């Protein structure tokens, strides 16, 4: 969304009105002729990547959402799945720009164990650890609950940091599909009753 804001900020063409309306829903103010573009410039994917991918031994834990915010008006302008502000290509830490539906190729954001579109590689020291199919951008650190969270990279230790989310699985199988082994889902039990930040805190600070 930051890239779009920069691109249209000083263009008064009528056909850009839907984009400007979506950006205004996100920012809360009209960007046309705005002088408040400095931070937005730093949030564009290119600039943010140049900052975030600077050499560092500090692990980057990624918490990813795919939910709706701002009545969904921002979603048509973001590639692939997104949290209404940031697309998965950025939130997962993908090494290449692309339109993705998950951070990993073997699990959907809803926890279904199946093949899906995902980055072929992530930036060095980037670890997507939790996904929430219905978690929106504000909900990543806010108080949004009611989302069953899905573990991605899990049960690993880097330096003094240990990540070990509790996991559970279930198999959904229609009674009439006797030939099928069913669909397996993996999730963090009890996560629906907590926000994502509460789930992270209780796991990383036992």
Is 20 in the same domain as 63? no
The two structure tokens encoding residue 45: 């994917």
Q: Are strands 168-172 and 150-151 parallel, antiparallel or unpaired?
A: unpaired
Q: Which domain holds residue 4?
A: 1-52
Is 155 in the same domain as 192? yes
List, in order, residues 6 or more apart from 171 with CB less than 8 Å away: 181, 182, 183, 184, 185
Is 38 in the same domain as 110? no
- For the chain, how big is the Rg over CA atoms in Å? 19
Give the total number of structural domains in the chain: 2
Q: Which 8-state DSSP code applies to residue 192?
A: G
The average pLDDT across 56-80 equals: 88
Is 48 in the same domain as 30? yes
- In degrees, to the nearest 5, what angle opens at C-alpha 101 toward C-alphas 97 and 107? 120
pTM over 0.95: no
Q: What is the pLDDT of residues 10-21, one digit of tens each?
A: 667 655 677 667
CA distance 148 to 114: 17
Is 144 in the same domain as 93? yes
Q: What is the pLDDT of residues 142-162, one digit of tens each?
A: 999 999 999 999 999 988 889
Reference 78, options 101, 96, 53, 60; nearest CA is 101
Is 40 in the same domain as 63? no
Per-residue pLDDT band for 58 (boundaries 50, 70, 90) equals confident
């Amino acid at each position: 969304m930051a890239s779009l804001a920069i691109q249209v900020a000083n263009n008064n063409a009528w056909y850009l009105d839907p984009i400007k309306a979506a950006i205004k829903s996100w920012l809360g103010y009209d960007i046309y002729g705005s002088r408040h573009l400095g931070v937005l410039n730093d949030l564009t994917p290119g600039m943010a990547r140049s900052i975030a991918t600077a050499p560092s031994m500090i692990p980057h834990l990624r918490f990813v959402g795919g939910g709706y915010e701002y009545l969904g008006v921002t979603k048509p302008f973001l590639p692939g799945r997104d949290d209404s502000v940031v697309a998965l290509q950025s939130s997962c830490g993908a090494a290449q720009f692309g339109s993705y539906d998950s951070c990993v190729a073997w699990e959907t954001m809803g926890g279904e164990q199946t093949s899906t579109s995902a980055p072929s590689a992530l930036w060095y020291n980037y670890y997507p650890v939790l996904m929430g199919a219905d978690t929106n951008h504000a909900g990543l650190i806010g108080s949004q609950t009611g989302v069953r969270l899905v573990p991605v990279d899990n049960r690993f230790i880097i330096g003094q940091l240990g990540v070990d989310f509790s996991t559970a699985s279930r198999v959904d199988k229609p009674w009439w599909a006797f030939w099928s082994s069913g669909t397996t889902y993996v999730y963090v039990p009890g996560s629906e009753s907590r926000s994502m930040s509460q789930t992270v805190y209780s796991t990383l600070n036992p």
